[in-house]
Amino acid sequence: MRRLKVVVDLDRCEAHGECTRIAPDLFRLDEELDLHWEENPPGDRSDDVRYAVEACPSEAISVDEV
């Protein structure tokens, strides 16, 4: 199965958390509000990642297929 390559521009991320609500197993904010994310999720998660891309108010998330 193809995998995705998810990139988050941390200079743009303002810890709104929409991505963590859409896919909490792929995106997580820690106690310091630093974002951690799965950089290479399986291709069958592309819908969730794309929803997160669209929901991010800072347009900080981008995704490619690899």
Q: How far is the CB of 56 from ligand SF4 (least distance, A)?
A: 3
Q: How far is the CB of 23 from ligand SF4 (least distance, A)?
A: 10
- 26 counts as binding ligand SF4 under rule CB under 6 A: no
20-30: b (≥16 Cβ within 10 Å) or e: bebbeebbebe
Residues numbered 42 to 61 that lie near ligand SF4 (CB under 6 A) are: 56, 58, 60-61
Task: Kindly list the residues in this chain that would bind ligand SF4 in the complex (CB under 6 A).
Answer: 8, 13-19, 27, 35, 56, 58, 60-61
